[in-house]
């Protein structure tokens, strides 16, 4: 009879040596990547681990996602993070959640041979790091860690904005003026974070002309399999060079690998935790079925040229943001038999 492998779940209770602070002190020195999502960050909580994060950023990359929920996060902690972000040339980068009730507590640590995640009740505060009353679960299962990485990537890429000095100072003024009543009030994120705070996206509000001219390497495919659910969702995907696309965008995609032009909808985007032979930025997509796919025939290229959309094939080999009217012109050409 076969045996079922039982996975052990470890806990961090902030009791004696079993604290989150001790765990981070043991794991961060060998980390090649650190991703932290902590709703609350204080200067006193940041101080004991800041040098460890600084050293991890020198070896790889550190990302810290926090928020302004209940005005708990301290402006001084944000100023410190801004300084370190500048000192490390962005290798330690910080973003603020655009969620009004952002309340995550997750610590994801990648080392050369393994990845570990801690999820529970601990913020990046004195209480969260070593005082009792906290409970965290340590996960090392590859499937669990991959799922957490996917969640983090979505929050980092689509539900947050980069930390800037003007935001910190607006937040500090608001927090000081609100006083003790601040936590009972809804923080005016749009006023504090500025125009960078996205409103609810309008599906299909941006349009692109995009292209694919090669296949991804085996290593890239492996990294994407470990950090996304795109294979399970049966999405197609391609590298984008830079983080230019957003979920819901539409694109006229010139696929030179199969010699076809089609209209697609961007379903997801990601920045891989590590560099791959094909870069770090990728987009997943599905086909828009009510617009026919067309082969790249001479006749089709002539139609694009006659419509003033493309002068030649070479012009289609770069990604370009286009207007809705121009997008509709592409649709007309593709719908023509």
Residues 190 and 225 in one domain: no
Angstrom distance (rounded) from CA 198 to CA 274: 27
Q: Give exposure, 68-77, as e/b (b: 16+ Cβ within 10 Å).
A: bbbbbbbbeb
* SS percent in the chain: helix, strand, coil, step 5: 40, 25, 35
Whether residue 64 lies inside any domain: the answer is yes
**Relative orientation angle of helices 43-59 and 75-87, to the nearest 10 degrees:** 20
Residues 182 and 302 in one domain: no
Burial bucket for residue 61 (CB in 10 Å: 0-12, 13-18, 19+): buried
Higher per-residue pLDDT: 155 or 205? 155
Q: Which pLDDT belongs to residue 266?
A: 92
Model confidence at 177, in pLDDT bands (50, 70, 90)?
Answer: confident
Domain at 171, CATH number? 3.30.870.10
The predicted-structure confidence for 73-112, as pLDDT tens digits, reads as follows: 999 999 999 999 888 888 899 999 989 899 999 999 998 8
105 touches 72 (CB < 8 A) = no
Whether residue 3 lies inside any domain: the answer is no
Higher per-residue pLDDT: 186 or 314? 314
CB atoms within 10 A of CB 159: 15
**Relative orientation angle of helices 324-335 and 298-306, to the nearest 10 degrees:** 140
Residues 215 and 188 in one domain: no
Whether residue 1 lies inside any domain: the answer is no
Residues 172 and 282 in one domain: no
Last residue of a domain, one of 144, 177, 196: 196
Residues 141 and 215 in one domain: no
Pick from 168, 27, 23, 32: nearest CA to 95: 168
Total domains in the fold of the chain: 2
Residues 182 and 221 in one domain: no
Last residue of a domain, one of 170, 196, 222: 196
Angstrom distance (rounded) from CA 196 to CA 194: 5
The predicted-structure confidence for 262-273, as pLDDT tens digits, reads as follows: 999 998 888 887
Residues 185 and 214 in one domain: no
Residues 64 and 179 in one domain: yes
- Cα 228 to Cα 32, 109, 121, 149, distances in angstroms: 19, 17, 25, 8
CB atoms within 10 A of CB 110: 21
Pick from 335, 317, 324: nearest CA to 210: 317
Angstrom distance (rounded) from CA 284 to CA 230: 7
Largest CA distance in the chain: 75
The sign of the dihedral angle between the CA atoms of 160, 165, 166, 168 is positive
Whether residue 307 lies inside any domain: the answer is yes
Q: Which helix (H) or strand (E) holds 212?
A: strand 207-212
The predicted-structure confidence for 111-146, as pLDDT tens digits, reads as follows: 888 899 999 999 999 999 999 999 999 998 888 888
Whether residue 26 lies inside any domain: the answer is yes
Provide, rounded to the nearest whole percent, the portion of the chain with pLDDT above 70. Answer: 92
Last residue of a domain, one of 196, 220, 242: 196
Residues 181 and 213 in one domain: no
Provide, rounded to the nearest whole percent, the portion of the chain with pLDDT above 90. Answer: 59
Residues 238 and 267 in one domain: yes
Confidence check: pLDDT of 308 > 50: yes
What residues make up the domain containing 329?
A: 207-335
The predicted-structure confidence for 243-290, as pLDDT tens digits, reads as follows: 888 888 999 999 999 999 999 999 888 888 778 999 999 999 999 988
Whether residue 169 lies inside any domain: the answer is yes
Residues 238 and 331 in one domain: yes
Domain at 252, CATH number? 3.10.590
């Amino acid at each position: 009879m076969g045996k079922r492998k039982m996975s052990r779940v470890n806990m961090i209770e902030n009791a004696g040596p079993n604290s989150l602070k001790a765990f981070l002190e043991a794991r961060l020195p060998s980390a090649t990547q650190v991703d932290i999502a902590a709703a609350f960050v204080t200067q006193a909580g940041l101080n004991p681990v800041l040098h460890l994060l600084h050293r991890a950023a020198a070896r790889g990359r550190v990302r810290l996602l926090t928020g302004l929920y209940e005005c708990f996060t301290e402006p001084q902690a944000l100023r410190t993070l801004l300084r370190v972000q500048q000192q490390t040339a962005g290798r330690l980068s910080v973003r603020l959640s655009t969620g009004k009730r952002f309340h995550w507590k997750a610590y994801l640590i990648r080392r050369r041979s393994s990845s570990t995640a801690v999820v529970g009740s601990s913020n990046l505060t004195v209480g969260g790091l070593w005082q009792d009353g906290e409970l965290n679960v340590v996960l090392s299962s590859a499937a669990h860690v991959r799922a957490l990485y996917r969640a983090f990537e979505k929050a980092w890429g689509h539900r947050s904005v980069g930390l800037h000095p003007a935001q910190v100072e607006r937040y500090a003024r608001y927090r000081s003026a609100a006083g003790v009543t601040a936590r009972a009030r809804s923080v005016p994120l749009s006023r504090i974070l500025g125009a960078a705070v996205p409103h609810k996206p309008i599906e299909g509000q941006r349009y692109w002309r995009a292209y694919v001219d090669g296949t991804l390497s085996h290593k890239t495919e492996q990294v994407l399999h470990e950090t996304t659910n795109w294979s399970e969702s049966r999405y197609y995907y391609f590298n984008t060079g830079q983080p230019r696309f957003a979920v819901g965008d539409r694109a006229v995609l010139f696929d030179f690998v199969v010699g076809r032009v089609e209209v697609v909808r961007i379903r997801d985007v990601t920045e891989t935790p590590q560099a791959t032979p094909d870069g770090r930025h990728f987009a997943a997509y599905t086909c828009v079925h009510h617009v026919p796919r067309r082969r790249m025939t001479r006749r089709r290229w002539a139609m694009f040229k006659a419509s003033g959309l493309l002068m030649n094939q070479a012009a289609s080999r770069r990604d370009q943001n286009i207007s809705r009217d121009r997008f509709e012109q592409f649709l007309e050409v593709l719908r023509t038999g």
